[in-house]
Amino acid sequence: MNKKYTHILLIFFEILTIVSFNCKTVNAQNYALHFDGFNDYVEIGDVIEGSVAHTEEAWIKWAGDNSISSNFQDIVLKPFITSTAITKTGNLHSNYGDGSVWGSGVTSVVAIPVNIWTHIATVREESGKIRLYINGVEDVNSTTITLSGSNDRLRCIGVGKYTASSFVNWFNGELDEVRIWNTARSASEIRENMMRTLVGDESGLAALYRFDQTGGSTLYDATLNAYNGTLINMDAVADWVDSEAF
C-alpha cells in the first residue's frame, strides 16, 4: 500500500479513537437524582415568578404511583405560581396561580410510561395558553390561564412545599436536565434542544440543572443566576445515579 494512504489511514483511526474516548467520557458524566417518593426533594428558593410567558422542561423516569401523594407528584413547583407535575395515572399536568390561588390547570391525554426516560415540557404563552409536550410531541389538551403573581413560597424540585411543615405530592423516580425559562418555548425549540446540552447563557433561560455530578448535597444551576438547589433528606452519594436520559 502507498505510504501516503497508509499515513492517512493511521490518522483516520487515531481520530476515531479520540472521538470514541470523548464520547465515553461524556456519557460517564451523565447522572440523575433518585427521589424516593417519600421525603426526598431539592429546595431551590424564593425565585422565578411574576411572568406570564414561561416554560419548564425535564427528563423524568417515573417509578409509578407511590400511594403517598394524593392526585399528583410534583416535578417542579412554586406554590400558587407554577406547577409541572405528573398525575397518579401518569398524565402530565401544568398549572399557574396568582400567588395565592391556583388556576384550573390542564392535564395531558397521553400518559407517561413507567420506568422509561421521557422528556416533558409545559409551556405558557404570553396569551396565557398552556401547551403540554411529551417527547417533543404536543398533547391535544390545552387551556388558557392568565394568572400570574408572586409570593414568598419556596420553589422546589420533587415536591410541593407550601409551608415549612406542609409538604404534598412527592415525586417517585429519577430526574435529569431540569430547565426553567422565562419565555414560551416553541415546539421546534423543544424538539431541537431536548437532547442537547445547553451552555447556560441561552436567551430567556432562568435556571438550568444538568445533574452532571457524582455526589454532593448541592444541585448546581448552570446559569449566571446561580439558583443552586439543596438536597433535602437525600443521600449525597447513593441518590446520584447513572442517567440514560440522552
Q: What DSSP string runs through 24-59? A: HHHHHT-EEEEEESSS-EEEEES-S-S-SSEEEEEE
Give the list of residues 6+ apart from residue 172 with CB closer than 8 angstroms, or none: 35, 36, 37, 62, 63, 64, 65, 66, 69, 73
SS3 state at 214: coil
- Rounded distance between C-alpha atoms, residue 142 and residue 135, angstroms: 16
Q: Which helix (H) or strand (E) holds 188?
A: helix 187-193
Phi, psi of 157 (to 5 degrees): -110, 125
The pTM of this model reads: 0.88
Return per-residue pLDDT of the chain as tens, 246 residues: 554 444 444 334 343 333 333 333 333 359 999 999 999 999 999 999 999 999 999 999 999 998 787 799 999 999 999 999 999 999 999 999 999 999 999 999 999 999 999 999 999 999 999 999 999 999 999 999 999 999 999 999 999 999 998 999 999 999 999 999 999 999 999 999 999 999 999 999 999 999 999 999 999 999 999 999 999 999 999 999 999 999
